[in-house]
Amino acid sequence: MQDFSFQGKLYLGTRLPGGRSGALRWVGDAPKCDLTLKTETETRKDSYSGNRLTSAVLQKGKEAELTVAINWADIDNLLLGLYASKATFAGGTVSGEILPTGLSANDVVALDHGTISQLVLTDSNPTPTPLVVNAHYRIESPRAGLLKLLDFAGLTLPLRAAYRYGARTSVAMLTTPAPERYLLLDGINVIDNAPVQVRLYRVQFNPVSNLGLIHESFGQFELTASVLFDAEAAADPVLGGFGRLDLPEAA
């Protein structure tokens, strides 16, 4: 292999003892995966030449870092990048949800649930008065449960809502410890189609630093990570303590 341009599928999974991987998951389209190797050094300058020349270099440490760009914002990728936990909620019904106090005409209010249907708004009169859609209120977004209040004349506040709502999956940000994964890149050199594989035994991801929420083009998020030393893998001199790059030959 001389000239090279790598592409391939990037997998993340659990780490097993001895530098081996457990179940792996393809992260989807990942157009960037950069590995950076660093050494921490201390230099000494001589005191006799008159030029303060470097006379020795002391190596004090080795580091490996990773940067990955991901194009697919599926649930598992979001859980990884947001340090998040997942919860699923079934659809159901609400009766008598009390809207916030202190509302005025033209205010927008969010119901407790989204994907709403069969909405009925009433006031707090002992004999409740039903509100009329597009006269007393307007549904701004049924998927987000947003209402715009138009006219309160003759109504007793607070308002109350009854409705049906749909199921949802929620991703709660910054609720889990730093995720650590085994990484495997199953790639090829597109210049000559030669296979190449990269294995990193312990990759600890940082939370995404910038998740664009509104785009004029395709969305993408970037993750950085530290590649940690795996003492169990390092016990095998062939595996090394951080990872390895394999160049498979034809069977």
Res 187: pLDDT: 95
Same domain as 40, residue 70: yes
Are both 181 and 150 inside the same structural domain?
A: no
Q: Pick from 133, 166, 199: which residue ends a domain?
A: 166
Residue 154 in any domain: the answer is yes
In a domain, 1, yes or no: no
Taking the CA of residue 126 as centre, how many other CA atoms within 13 Å lie in the half-sphere pointing to its CB? 0
Write down the pLDDT at residue 147: 97
Q: Count Cβ atoms below 10 Å from residue 136 Cβ, excluding itself.
A: 21
CB 79 within 8 A of CB 169: no
Has residue 12 been placed in a domain? yes
Check if the beta carbon of residue 15 is closer than 8 Å to that of residue 2.
no
pLDDT of residue 18: 78
Three-class DSSP category at 234 = helix
Q: Are residues 69 and 11 in the same domain?
A: yes
From 109, 135, 166, give the residue that closes a domain. 166
Whether residue 66 is found in the same domain as residue 102: no
Q: Rounded to an integer, what distance in angstroms lies between the CA atom of residue 247 and that of residue 115?
A: 51
In a domain, residue 41? The reply is: yes
- Which pLDDT belongs to residue 250? 63
Return the sign of the alpha-carbon dihedral for residues 188, 189, 195, 199: negative
Residue at 208 is within a domain:
yes
- What local confidence, expressed as pLDDT, does residue 220 receive? 93
User: Are 151 and 185 in a shared domain?
Assistant: no
pLDDT at position 236 is: 84
pLDDT tens by residue, the chain, 251 residues? 688 999 999 999 998 887 788 999 999 999 999 999 999 999 999 999 999 989 999 999 999 999 999 999 999 999 999 999 999 999 999 999 999 988 889 999 999 999 999 999 999 999 999 999 999 999 999 999 999 999 988 899 999 999 999 999 999 999 999 999 999 999 999 999 999 999 999 999 999 999 989 988 999 999 999 999 999 888 888 888 999 999 888 65
Burial readout 3-42 (b: 16 or more C-beta within 10 A, e: otherwise): eeeeebebbbeebeeebebeebeebeebeebebeeeeeee
CB atoms within 10 A of CB 97: 15
Domain that holds residue 125: 91-166
CATH number at residue 65: 2.40.30
Domain assignment present for 42: yes
251 assigned to some structural domain: no
**Residue 50 shares a structural domain with residue 160:** no
CB atoms within 10 A of CB 107: 14
Sequence-distant (6+) residues with CB within 8 A of 118 are 163, 164
Residues 203 and 158 in one domain: no
Among 166, 192, 217, residue at a domain's last position: 166
Angle at 148 between CA 143 and CA 153, to 5 degrees: 145
Q: And the tokens for 89?
A: 């909620």
Number of compact structural domains in the chain: 2
Domain shared by 71 and 125, yes or no: no
User: Do 152 and 198 share a domain, yes or no?
Assistant: no
In a domain, 79, yes or no: yes
Residue in the block written with tokens 């209402």: 147
Say what the pLDDT of residue 19 is. Answer: 78
Same domain? 127 vs 153: yes
Q: What pLDDT, on the 0 to 100 scale, is given for residue 2?
A: 80
Examine residue 158 and say whether the peptide bond preceding it is cis (omega within 30 degrees of 0): yes
* Shared domain check, 197 and 231: yes
Half-sphere exposure of 51 (CA within 13 A, CB side): 4
The answer on 241 and 193 residing in a single domain is yes
